[in-house]
Amino acid sequence: MTSIAAVVLAAGAGTRMKSAKPKVMHEIGGRPMISHLLGTVGALDPAKVVVVTSPAMESVQEEVAPAEIAIQQEALGTGHAVAAALDALEGFAGDVLILYGDTPLIEAETLHKMIEKRRASGNCAVVVLGFEPIDPLEYGRLVTDAGGNLTAIVEFADANAEERAVRLCNSGVMAIDGAHLADLINAVDNKNAKGEYYLTDIVEIAIKKGLTCAYVKGEEEELLGVNNRLQLAEAEAIAQNRWRAAAMTEGATLIDPETVWFSHDTKLGRDVVIEPGAFFGPRVTVGDNVRIKAYSHLEGTTIGKKAQIGPFARLRPGAEIADNVKIGNFVEIKKSRLESGAKVSHLSYIGDARVGAEANIGAGTITCNYDGYDKFKTDIGAGAFIGSNTALVAPVKIGDGAIIGAGSTISKNVEADALGIERAEEKQKAGWAKRFRDLKKKVTK
């Protein structure tokens, strides 16, 4: 089978983003746009991936590693950008996909169709991905002959009235026979309204060389190019809808799907129930039969089977939640392991800790894990009971089965099955409250 290479154009500064970082580094579902595209390309098992950037885009170059980098020294058009990748593709005669780092939603199936179309005819040099948008705006138009063959791509600025009336538009994505790529690109000139080297000119160049060109239709949604924050939000919404649909197809229940937000790598087990307002940051894995209650925020966490999270819970990176654990409302867990059957039902902070199996953490409990310079660990044994409003000052260990009296500040280890309690002596002054109120009444008069 003929091999595949991909050239990803990512040299655009993205000035309309009004941002200090390159356009393609803006995220969708917690992942840079260009990495979404490279993930799709990876599904094709390419022999080579070349990313074209401008000289100052170190962050892009680091993000796309181990892809090969080609530098476009000046922004002189898409044809010029592809020319920058020719050295990296020297001797490659397979199919070359030309893609754009700011078009992150394209589907692998669409790219397969393009490659199949090009391979269907040995004389086909270029396949262009077209689409029919609701509003064609200023997209370039695909011009075809009576037989449906592609004869030209006309940029909007250079199109006449008849050409602008064509509804089939150019996405910019192409599949090109690598054996002809260099000759086609080197023949492109800049004699046009913008004085740029248009990649689109290779269609007419190929035809003049006796080769043929074709097109494949894609969906407008997957070909959205992100040039500003409004389009970034639109792309995010499309991606979220895809992920929600996939989650429900695979056996999760989303009570109000449009209010649930996933990350690109969220993993859900079967029979998971997600209530409205849940937010999943990167690196979240959820086991079977888990219920994520309303308005919980999760990132960097693993949740075991039959656990219950929330409502209004926050699981931060490093939270490891075992089977049958209950995390209640207004509970925050950070870099801690909660073992099977443990309960932290409400209004607590657990950080840098281990909570043993079947341990119960009372309301208002906090692990005091930070002294302003270093983090320290709290270890709570299996079956321990921590009374409400307890402060556990790390480093500290609570033994298996120990009980901590409510309202205690514990800074020393507590043995297994012992009672740990720390309270100041309670004093009462008879009649003091009445005398205080009477005094206040006299003052206010």
Catalytically active residues, by annotation:
346
Gap between the Cα atoms of 75 and 311, Å rounded:
51
Gap between the Cα atoms of 299 and 193, Å rounded:
49
End-to-end CA distance of the chain: 97
Gap between the Cα atoms of 362 and 343, Å rounded:
9
Nearest CA to 398 among 354, 362, 358, 365? 354
Per-residue CA distances from 296 to 276, 328, 333, 343 (Å): 9, 10, 12, 17
Gap between the Cα atoms of 311 and 293, Å rounded:
5
Read off the amino acid at residue 316.
Answer: R
Let me know: does 286 contact 304? Beta carbons within 8 Å: no
CA angle 365, 366, 368 (to 5 degrees): 150
- Tokens 């979404």: give the residue: 36
Give the up-direction half-sphere exposure of residue 245: CA atoms within 13 A in the CB hemisphere.
6
Gap between the Cα atoms of 332 and 316, Å rounded:
7
- Tokens 């001797």: give the residue: 91
Residue 73 class from Cβ within 10 Å (0-12 exposed, 13-18 middle, 19+ buried)? exposed
The DSSP string of 259-283 is: G-B--TT-EE-TT-EE-TT-EE-SS
Count CB-CB contacts under 10 A for residue 36. Answer: 22
Q: What are phi and psi of 30, to 5 degrees?
A: 80, 15
